[in-house]
Amino acid sequence: RGAFIAQRDLRDFEQHLAAFTGARYALGVSNATDGLHIALRAAGIGPGDEVIFCSHTMVATAAAIHFAGATPVPVECGPDHLMDPAAAAAAVTPRTRAIMPTQLNGRTCDMDALQAIADKYGLLIIEDAAQALGSRFKGRQAGTFGIAGAISFYPAKTLGCLGDGGAVLTNDEDMRRKMFLLRDHGRDESGEVVMWGLNTRLDNLQAAILDYKLARYDQEIARRREIASLYQKLLQDVGELVLPPAPDSDPDHFDIYQNYEIEAERRDDLRAYLNEHGIGTLIQWGGKAVHQFEKLGFKVSLPYTERMFTRCLMLPMNRSLSNEDVEYVCQTIRQFYGYR
C-alpha cells in the first residue's frame, strides 16, 4: 500500500497497545531510549534538574536523562534487583525533579513505595518499562504508573519487532500531545510546525508486525512464567544460588520474565562450566552497572550493586526452550555444585 510512515497500521497498533496496557494513550517511537528522552522533555525536565535512576539498568536510562539536559543520579538496587526505594529517598536533593525506575527483568517495582517518595518530595515518575510489557504491580501495568513510561520492542525483548522500535505510554493528555509533536519534527496533524521536534517515529511496517504479535503476546508471557516455575522447582534447594521471585510467590507482583537473573556463588566458574556443556548465559550490561562505566564520569560507589555484579547471571529464558532444555540446564548447575 506504500504505507511506510504514520499510517493506519501504526494507529491500530497504538490503540491495541493502549488497550492491552490499560494506558489512556500509547505512541509508537523509534526505540525506548528515545521514548524516555521525549517523555523527559515533554515533562519539562532539563538543565539544572536531577533525575534518580537505579544503576542496575541499561545505560540508555541514564543517557535519556543526560540528553534531556538533566543530571542522572544513580542509586542502589535491592534484593529483587530493582530500585531500592530507601536509596531513592536518600538521594533526593532540592534539584531532584523525577524518579526513573527501571522495571527490570520483567518485574515491576514496589510502586507504592516509590509513589510515596514522589508525593513527599513533589517528584514526577517516568518509568523505564523497556523490559516489562505486561508486567503488573497490584494489577496495574508497568509503564502506566507515572506521568509516562517507555516500552522497547528491540528484537530480544519479550515483544520484539524486526529491528528497533518502542512506545511511550501516558494517561496525561498534555504529555500525549507534547510527545506526539516531539516524535515527528514538532508537526501537528495538519503539518503545521508548532514546536521544535525530533524524528523518532515507529515505522508503519514494524507496527504492523508488532500488532500481529501483540495479539498472541499472552502466550509468550505464559510460557516464560512456566519456564521460571520449572527453574524454581529444579533449583530452589541449591544453597549457592539466589533465584528471582517465583511466578506466584507474591500476589502483588505479576512478572513476565524478560530475563531469569540469578545470583550465584563462584559465578564465573559456573558460567565457564555451563559454557563447556553447551549452555550459553549472559551477564547483563556487559557486567557493569551504569555508574561503573568510568568514562561516563560518575563519582559514586554503590557497594550493594557492585557486589551483586560479581554474582549475577542470566540463565536461558526464551520460548524456543523445551522443558527438557530447562531440565538439562538445571541438572548441569546441580552437577557443578555437587548436588544430585
Binding-site ranges for ligand PLP (CB under 6 A): 31-33, 57-58, 60-61, 102, 128, 130-131, 152, 154, 166
What cell numbers appear for 164 in the block?
A: 528497533
- Residue (161 or 333) nearer to ligand PLP, CB: 161
Minimum CB separation of residue 337 from ligand PLP in Å reads: 29
Minimum CB separation of residue 101 from ligand PLP in Å reads: 10
- Residue (103 or 281) nearer to ligand PLP, CB: 103
User: How far, in Å, CA of 9 to CA of 263, rounded?
Assistant: 42
- Residue (129 or 147) nearer to ligand PLP, CB: 129
- Residue (83 or 123) nearer to ligand PLP, CB: 83
- Residue (73 or 235) nearer to ligand PLP, CB: 73
- Residue (202 or 330) nearer to ligand PLP, CB: 202
Minimum CB separation of residue 102 from ligand PLP in Å reads: 5
- Does residue 231 contact residue 59 with C-beta atoms inside 8 Å? no
Which phi and psi angles does 141 have, rounded to 5°? -85, 145
Which phi and psi angles does 273 have, rounded to 5°? -65, -45
Distance (Å) of CA 254 to CA 42, 142, 180? 30, 10, 30
Minimum CB separation of residue 183 from ligand PLP in Å reads: 14
Minimum CB separation of residue 161 from ligand PLP in Å reads: 10
User: How far, in Å, CA of 197 to CA of 275, rounded?
Assistant: 47
Minimum CB separation of residue 139 from ligand PLP in Å reads: 22
Q: What is the DSSP string of 226-254?
A: HHHHHHHHHHTT-TTEEPPPPTTS-TTEE
Minimum CB separation of residue 268 from ligand PLP in Å reads: 23
User: How far, in Å, CA of 195 to CA of 181, rounded?
Assistant: 7
| Residues whose CB falls within 8 Å of the CB of residue 206, separated by 6 or more in sequence, listed in order | 28, 153, 161, 162, 163, 165
- Residue (107 or 136) nearer to ligand PLP, CB: 107
- Does residue 38 contact residue 200 with C-beta atoms inside 8 Å? yes
- Could you give the angle at which helices 323-337 and 267-276 cross, rounded to 10 degrees? 130
Residue type, 181: L
User: How far, in Å, CA of 128 to CA of 100, rounded?
Assistant: 6
- Residue (70 or 130) nearer to ligand PLP, CB: 130
Minimum CB separation of residue 131 from ligand PLP in Å reads: 4
Do strands 124-128 and 96-100 pair parallel, antiparallel, or not at all (unpaired)?
parallel
- Residue (20 or 328) nearer to ligand PLP, CB: 20
| Residues whose CB falls within 8 Å of the CB of residue 77, separated by 6 or more in sequence, listed in order | 54, 55, 56, 83, 84, 104, 304, 305, 308
